[in-house]
Chains A and B, each alone.
Chain A
Amino acid sequence: MNLLADFYAKHSRLIDQIGINAILALSLSVSLQAGQLALAQAAFMGIAAYVSTILALNAHWPLLATIVAAVLASTAVAAILAYPVRRLRGVFLAIATIGFGEIVRVFANNLSITGGAEGISGIPNDATTPVIYGALALVALVLFGLSRTKFALAVALVREDEYAARGVGVDVGAVRTAALALGGAIAGLGGALYAHASFFITPTDFGFPRMESILVWCVVGGVTSPVGAVLGAALLSVLPEAIRFLADYREVTNGIILLAVILFAPGGLASLWQRRGAAAAAAAARTA
């Protein structure tokens, strides 16, 4: 028991980070599952982080209220963003959403309410480990619940073939908007928790490198697998801490890992056990 307490005391920050990163990875995995390479997660995260910070510091709202308000704000922004990008697909959607992320960052850099480039400090550190993991569990539960609904089927059909999805009665526009908004909500939750687990936030916390990290976690885990996304986030959050000298080269290692995954396991970690399952099934079929 003491050992566990010692371990927690030593690594609590990392443990909290893993939880938040897992939430962020799940947020991107939602839009990836709908086949939408929408890379505005860091921006949604930032919007929510600033909203919850400002409400906590200026209006003295309690933690839960600031999180709810922040999530509502990021969800609304994501749903609105879905409209101008409704005709964009693939890499064009990626570029437009990255551009949106830059707009958000530039605004945060120049507005006085966000504290400009220096950001905002003195945020109450009330997003404790149980709060963060409670939030992660809630997200997992919601996504698991959704995975058994028709919405999940519609998401898969839109990913596979939008044209044929329309042909069987799927409202593709509504599904895309819902996927983006749900991703925005989850990213917002991650962002609010991030703010309340840090002493200060600055615009660079929510720039392109953050977005790239989230994308790498999802690719490493397997783009269409929520479990893979969580594993990818956990693995790549721990790695720089476990192998100390890597910490200074985080972006470099991110790039190398991304390349390795694309070359050797294009389906990510999730595909490795699916492949084993498929191999076992094939073997069983041969013997039958």
Chain B
Amino acid sequence: MSGAPTLALDGVGVRYGGVAALHGVALAIERGHVLGLIGPNGAGKTTLVNAVTGLASLASGTVALEGRRIDGMQPHRIARAGVARTYQNIRLFGALDVAANLAAGAFARPGRPAEADMRRALERAGIPDANLRARAGALPYGDQRRLEIARALAAEPSVVMLDEPAAGMNPSETTRLVETIRAIAASGIAVLLIEHDMPLVRAACDSVVVLNFGEVIARGTPGEVARDPVVVEAYLGSGAEALA
């Protein structure tokens, strides 16, 4: 094992025209840990995911995966290097069946995944009974979210970035999602969790980074961050009691 973190961002800046969407962002995630990324709408959370996956190009800074620079690489190469993600708005291959979506997840791996591998990915994502022959777009909403997670896991990545996985889920589904996320991390994957749902962030994350206007304004354990007056003012506002 090298000393480098699984995923490390250093001084990352992204500009859209004259707007600095991200500025000087540094963070690191280790395997087995869940890092929460929170911040108000437009704070740059999804931009950060896009910067890591190569969909947004960096104006400054570096992104390294296990000590190897991946910034500047093409998106498909970054995916092959071991970075998997889910999308804020679900992006399954809706017309294809569940099996094809899982095979897609494993695209960068040699050969085609066996049915047992697919079952394992579905199990880890919390939908063990999903029909492999069902059309992905026809699954219930919550199952589609979990199938996206299963697709990401099928890649056997080092890093998984979950972009608002609880969006549209009810409270009991969200509670189950915490177990799923903790189990993913426990299997030796570094997890970056973007989420608005504060109880979920508290329950699932080992540490939290708070973004506002593209900059990191606080970091620490979920409890520390919740008590940070800067965070309360910038982001939580009247919702602060949700964390307390």
Which residues of A come within 8 Å of B, CB atoms?
Answer: 150, 153-154, 156-157, 160-161, 163-172
| A160 near B80: Cβ-Cβ < 8 Å | no
Confirm or deny: B85 has a beta carbon within 8 angstroms of a beta carbon on chain A.
yes
Contact for A157 among B53, B74, B93, CB less than 8 A: B93
Q: How far is the CA of A195 from the CA of B166 in the complex (A)?
A: 61
Given the known inter-chain contacts A160-B93, A160-B94, A161-B91, please indicate yes or no for A166 contacting B107, CB distance below 8 A: no
Given the known inter-chain contacts A150-B107, A150-B112, A167-B53, please indicate yes or no for A172 contacting B76, CB distance below 8 A: yes
| A163 near B91: Cβ-Cβ < 8 Å | yes
| A169 near B107: Cβ-Cβ < 8 Å | yes
Which residues of B come within 8 Å of A, CB atoms?
Answer: 53, 55, 74-77, 79-80, 84-85, 87, 91-96, 100, 103-105, 107-108, 112, 151, 155
For A171, the chain B residues whose CB sits under 8 A away are 74, 76
| B95 near A168: Cβ-Cβ < 8 Å | no
Contact for B75 among A150, A161, A167, CB less than 8 A: A167
| B104 near A166: Cβ-Cβ < 8 Å | no
Q: What's the least CB distance linking A171 to chain B, in Å?
A: 5
At the interface, is chain A mostly helix, strand, loop or mixed?
Answer: helix
* Chain A residue with Cβ nearest B109: A169
Q: What's the least CB distance linking A277 to chain B, in Å?
A: 12
Q: How far is the CA of A124 from the CA of B99 in the complex (A)?
A: 51
Given the known inter-chain contacts A153-B100, A153-B103, A153-B107, please indicate yes or no for A164 contacting B76, CB distance below 8 A: no
| B79 near A156: Cβ-Cβ < 8 Å | no
| A168 near B94: Cβ-Cβ < 8 Å | no
For A172, the chain B residues whose CB sits under 8 A away are 76
Q: How far is the CA of A150 from the CA of B155 in the complex (A)?
A: 15
Q: What's the least CB distance linking B68 to chain A, in Å?
A: 16
For A157, the chain B residues whose CB sits under 8 A away are 93, 96, 104, 107
